[in-house]
Structure 1
Amino acid sequence: MEREMTVMTGHGDLSDDVMVETLSRLPVKSLMRFRCVCKSWYSLVKDPNFIYKHLKRANNMRLMIYCTYKNPYDTDPFNDLITYFSIFPDKTLTDLHIQDLEPTMRGTTTGPYDGIFLLLGDRTHINLWNVSMDEYRVVPGYEVRLPSETRAHSADYGLGVDPKTNDFKLVLVLTLWDENKQWTYDEFSPVAVYNFTTDCWRDVGGFPMNHHYRFEGADDIYLNGFCYWVVRRPDYYKAILTFSMSDEVFQVIEGPNVPQFLNYNESAMSPWILGLYDDCLSILFSEEMAHSFDLWMMTGGSWTKQFTFGPFIETYQPFTFWRKGEFLLQSSDKRLVLYDSKYEEFRDLGITGLWFSVNILKESLITVKRR
């Protein structure tokens, strides 16, 4: 006979606290199996407080790689590229063996927020993907009414939660192309928001600005109810675009006091990589054209430079933040390396390719299935 176990979230029973703490340290796949043990464990795994506790574990980080490389054994110049989507199961990156993810899930990834990724084919083929739970949600396509003589040129997304309603939202910003001017349409960009609970899109008006901004990369950063993107004006000056998930309004804030470049090539060679460092919005800036880097943090409403690492003889392209003081970079010979700024050490992660997409995965019990 199965013994019913009552798991409480309070502090009245030490054994209950120990049980909750123990379960919160387990991987998602184990917790999904353990739901069948008893009703209280089933309820616990679905409890929002437990989900949040599990998500915020200090060791809850995995590295995901989307890599394209040239097949050295294929002589066909039109069919010699191989692409794979993999994850490093070892959170410490001590063991560098990789695990291939589901081969049918192909597409550009953006995010994640709380373990949920966006897989993009185009505006009509969008999947929300919880990798750890192997769950998908097909997002309905967004149909937009465009001004005459324009077409959709590019789409940029932000994923996060509205702290007022606790509802997940997906924001879409379209950049239009003016067929008459043969240039990007600079009057406004259509904006729409998808709510998880309603499973539908809403138009939230245009995106007017004094300057027409272009997004400097696919990924957004979510922090405390706001999405953030790096954007570039026509004069190549960069700034930070923010979107409030509650008020659904945009704002542009200035970036750190770093050199700005007035031509495309120099601006592109000195990217601003957005990330979170000590739970603060941060930017990794290339100080000497990919030979050295500055870390800037937004604290108290202003930017402060924390430290510099480099200069290096070799050039590096920054990808993303890893753990505190560690950054993922691509070397000039297309190797993925991990740099530890504290010990000033490089680690080759054994990945070489033509193109990379690097994402940080947190194991998450948040479901993307429709209720």
Structure 2
Amino acid sequence: MENEGNLSTTKDSLLKSVVGDTKMNTGNTSIHDLSDNHMVAILVRLPVKTIVHCKCVCRDWLNLITDSHFINLHLTESPEYFMLLDDCTNSLRLLDIQEEDGANHLHHDPIMSLNLNLAPIFQNAQLFVDGSVNGLICLTGSDGTSDMAYICNPITREYMILPKQIDSTECNIVNSYGFGVSSLTGEYKVMRVIQTIRTSQAVPAADVYTLGTGQWRRLGHLAYFIYGHRGTFLNNHFHWHICDYEDTLEKICTFDIDNEKFQLFPSPPLDLEEDIHFERMMGVVKGCLCYSYYTFCEFTMWVMKVYGIKNSWQKEVLINQNICPNLRWSLNMHFVPIGSLKDGRFLMMYDQGKLFVYHPDTSTTQETEFSDVDAISYRPSFLKLQTFESESVHKFLR
């Protein structure tokens, strides 16, 4: 009975932290008087770290949080975080956005880290983050003989290994990946574009893997080469830069996740000088597609304000050595837009894994404590990988 008393105290203290002492002190209201629907309405609004702790309080809460109704409702409420893949520790680290003194700050709680080395297959592996949707992350790498792809949910501490891919053992292969979910069918798909280098006969090809099917499908060949190791997913489409665009005005191609077709897409109105650039990246900021490039110690980012409308592209960010001399400028710098903060600033990555924040109103930058990382925008979820039938799901060891 003593354990039951401690459990009740733990429940009530958590509830007070959410609804406040005033409501709790009205009459003889107890947490046990709340219906499941009321408890779900409370739990779904808690920070993800608190929800994880609540799963350990009692079996009733565990059942509520792992139920499909809660999982789907939480997906609609889950705020934006950032996820880091730390190369030094081989771990996934959740970055929270906290408001202090009227400004947004990036915060990392070590408790919300996942050491990938706890799974033998990831030990000493060189991994890349190639997309995230609904709390699931697509990781890619090599097992020493061929390219591999994995789907991981760091919140539920689950992962699955996708089958070895078609032509994955061929030499001189350069792969680009994308990961997304159809808003029509709910199917999750991993996209892979294969490009052979150092051969004049090279023709890019595309494969797709639908989670739950157990096999890759070859879609056919592409009409153009693409640039970048991951496709940007937005509005049911993957987006890539294209490399061989001498005969077309558009520099972007898309892949429709539903009809599985490639097509050209309206690109920013670049002039000839802007068209000669070294590093090109795509991303999503404030829910809009962005196109960025770096050339001659200057970084430029365009944002498409209305999706699919060419004349809605606007030049949002221009960073150069005169504006931001504190950055370590070089001719081969690598800028990647990661996302935006609530106060209007942009989170970006440069110089192979250093994070910094850019304030467009003042044209100033602020470096962060995070380096040697890959970063993506991330919305945590409790989506279970067991949802996908025929997939072998593994748990990270504690």
TM-score by length of 1: 0.73
1:208 aligns with 2:222: yes
* CA contact 1:293–1:308 (8 Å) conserved in 2: yes
Instruction: Trace 1:11-22 onto structure 2 (pairs within 5 A).
Output: 16=38, 19-22=39-42
The 5 A counterparts of 1:42-57 are 42-43=63-64, 45-47=66-68, 50-57=70-77
Residue aligning to 2:210: 195
Report the Cα offset of residue 172 of structure 1.
1.6
Query: CA offset at residue 155 of structure 1?
Result: 1.6
Long gaps (5+) in structure 1: 9-15, 68-81
Alignment deviations for residues 140-199 of structure 1 (CA, whole Å, 9 cap, x no partner): 1123499xxx8561122111112332111112221135xxxx42534x433222111222
Map 1:15-94 onto structure 2 (within 5 A).
Answer: 16=38, 19-28=39-48, 30-32=50-52, 34-35=54-55, 37=58, 42-43=63-64, 45-47=66-68, 50-57=70-77, 59-67=79-87, 84-85=90-91, 87=93, 89-92=95-98, 94=105
Quote the residue 1:102 is aligned against.
115
Is this contact kept in 2: 1:232–1:238, CA < 8 A? no
Q: Give the superposed CA RMSD.
A: 3.6
Aligned residue pairs: how many?
328
Instruction: List runs of 5+ in structure 2 lacking aligned partners.
Output: 9-31, 99-103, 390-398
1:218 aligns with 2:229: yes
Q: Deviations over 1:82-104 (max 9, x none)?
A: 56545254423736567454142
Deviates further, 325-334 or 189-198: 325-334
2:290: which partner in 1? 282
Q: Following TM superposition, by how much is the alpha carbon of 1:339 offset from its aligned partner in structure 2, in angstroms?
A: 1.1
How far off its partner does 1:137 sit?
0.5
Structure whose residues are more often helix by fraction = 2
Task: Please tell me the residue identity of whatever aligns with 2:243.
Answer: R
2:236 & 2:361 partners in 1: Cα distance? 31
* Counterpart for residue 267 of structure 1: 277
The answer to whether the aligner puts 1:307 opposite 2:316 as a matched pair is yes
Residue 364 (structure 2) aligned to one of 327, 345, 348: 345
Q: Which amino acid aligns with 1:91?
A: I
Aligned partner of residue 42 in structure 1, secondary structure: helix
Shift in Å, 1:344: 3.5
Work out the CA distance in 1 between the residues paired with 2:105 and 2:378. 17
Q: Please, what TM-score do these two structures have when normalized by structure 2?
A: 0.69
For residues 125 and 274 of structure 1, the distance between their equivalents in structure 2, rounded to whole angstroms, comes to 23
How far apart, CA to CA, are the structure 2 residues paired with 1:116 and 1:235?
37
Percent identical pairs in the alignment equals: 18
Distance 2:201 2:181 in 1: 30
Instruction: Out of 104-113 and 312-321, give the one that drifted further.
Output: 312-321
> In 2, are the aligned partners of 1:152 and 1:174 still within 8 Å (CA)?
no
Give 1:326's aligned residue: 345
Cα drift, residue 279 of structure 1: 1.9
2:335, 2:351 within 8 Å by CA — same for their partners in 1?
no
CA gap of 1:113–1:332, structure 2 versus 1, over 3 A, is closer
> Is the alpha carbon distance of 1:58 and 1:46 closer, same or farther for their aligned partners in structure 2, counting shifts above 3 Å?
closer
Aligned counterpart for 1:120 among listed residues 126, 136, 140? 140
Equivalent position of 2:201 in the other structure: 185
